[in-house]
Amino acid sequence: MAALTEAFSVKRYMRDLKLPFCPGCGCFTITNSFLRAVHELGYEDLSRFIFCSGIGCAAWIPSPYFKADSIHTPHGRSIPAATGVRLMRPKLNVVVFGGDGDIAGIGLSHLIHAARRNLDIAVIMVNNMVYGMTGGQVAPTTPFKTKTATTPYGSFEHPLDVTRLVVSAGASYAARWTTAHARNLKEAFKNAVTTKGFAFVEVVSQCPTAFGRRAGFKGVAEILRWFKENSIQLKQAEKMGEEKLAGKIVVGEFIRRELPTLTENVYAVLEEAKKRAETS
Ligand SMILES: Cc1ncc(C[n+]2csc(CCOP(=O)(O)OP(=O)(O)O)c2C)c(N)n1
Ligand code: SF4
Ligand SMILES: [Mg+2]
């Protein structure tokens, strides 16, 4: 598909509605980068996409704001909905947006099994390190010792590395970037949409309202500086010990591989069953 020659405008892909995000929220950057990726892939509109999202601030990114078909599911259940959509409409791009709580908290088992099955969808997880929409409670992704609404003396648990988890579960593509890496993010979204198989992009993102203030940041610029200064490219991280990596954000492409997908496997079994029924 050739890239569109017209200049990029989010208006092409978005309904004329006011976005629900707080000023300075990372969800603005993610929305913009995703739609830029769609534009650069040559899609004139979103008619070849179906979006699924659960509950939370990040889950509002596609629905109802994108001019597209979308399903807003209960909290944590976007991937099961996307599984059904994918199997019934195998030619469309199925993209899930969700927060770290939605995807890696309440919905974690669905994520692992989707990666294991190599379900051909793209999952974009906005990791703002808290449950943002409900007021900034500690999440499975909150960095150790970080103050949140429910850990006023600092979090006493270590965060889950969700990107590495999906790699070990069997994902075809996985990358992690932050909102301070808009260009890399856009490229990762392009890769995720075009991957044959399960694709995962973790976006470490700022929530100035429910995370930043409590965690000790003065404003959005300071959080973005923290992202930039603490990000370590995967290749460099591989040469560093665990101690030196404590508190760092390892960014880059973690895996890109071609494997049979769930849709291919399901349709192959259906074909086989059909042939057997015809000959019996
Ligand atoms: C079954 C269920 N449990 C709890 C909630 C309350 N709830 C709504 S959003 C949310 C967490 C959202 O956090 P996250 O997914 O990280 O999204 P964010 O708002 O941070 O983008 C919770 C616990 C709910 N809506 N449904
Ligand atoms: S609460 Fe946080 S994540 Fe939610 S819209 Fe506001 S800044 Fe964004
Ligand atoms: Mg969150």
pLDDT digits (tens, 9 = 90+) for 93-111: 999 999 999 999 999 999 9
- Residue 228: is its pLDDT beyond 90? yes
Q: Which of the listed residues 21, 28, 55, 72 should we mutate to test ligand 1's pocket, taking the one with most ligand atoms within 8 A of CB?
A: 55
pLDDT tens per residue across span 20-75? 999 999 999 999 999 999 999 999 999 999 999 999 999 999 999 999 999 999 99
Cα–chain-centroid distance for residue 40?
Answer: 19
65 part of a folded domain = yes
DSSP state of 160: P
Q: Has residue 240 been placed in a domain?
A: yes
CA distance 208 to 221: 10
197 with 176: CB under 8 angstroms? no
Percent of the chain predicted with pLDDT > 70: 99
Q: Which ligand 1 atom is the nearest neighbour of the CA of 128? A: 20
The continuous run of DSSP H or E covering 201 comes out as strand 199-204
**Phi/psi of residue 256, nearest 5 degrees:** -150, 110
How would residue 6 be classed by pLDDT, with cut points 50, 70 and 90? confident
Helices (H) then strands (E): counts for the chain: 11, 10
Of 3-7, 51-55, 107-111, 268-272, least confident by mean pLDDT is: 3-7
How far apart are the C-alpha atoms of 122 and 20, rounded to whole Å?
A: 23
Protein residues with CB under 6 Å of any ligand 2 atom: 21-22, 25, 27, 57, 128, 132-133, 207-210
Q: Quick check: is 166 in a domain? A: yes
From CA 240, how far away is CA 249, in angstroms rounded? Answer: 13
Question: Is residue 262 in some structural domain?
Answer: yes
The preferred substitution site among 128, 179, 220 for testing ligand 2, maximizing ligand atoms within 8 Å of CB, is 128
In a domain, 4, yes or no: no
Provide the CATH number for the domain around residue 267: 3.40.50.970
Q: Is 101 in the pocket of ligand 1 (CB under 6 A)?
A: yes
The structural domain count of the chain equals 1
Q: Which ligand is nearest to the Cα of residue 219, counting in written order?
A: 2
**Residue 1 binned pLDDT confidence (cut-offs 50, 70, 90):** low
pTM: 0.97
Is the pLDDT assigned to residue 2 strictly greater than 90? Answer: no
- Would 11 be classed as within a structural domain? no
Residue 8 lies in a domain: no
Tens digits of per-residue pLDDT, 160-200? Answer: 999 999 999 999 999 999 999 999 999 999 999 999 999 99
Distances from the Cα of 231 to the Cα of 212, 228, 245, angstroms: 18, 5, 10
Cα of 134 vs centre of ligand 2, distance in Å, is: 10
Domain-located, residue 1? no
Tell me which residue range forms the domain holding 267: 19-279
Question: 43 alpha carbon to ligand 1 midpoint, in Å?
Answer: 31
CA torsion, points 16, 17, 22, 25, in degrees to nearest 10? -40
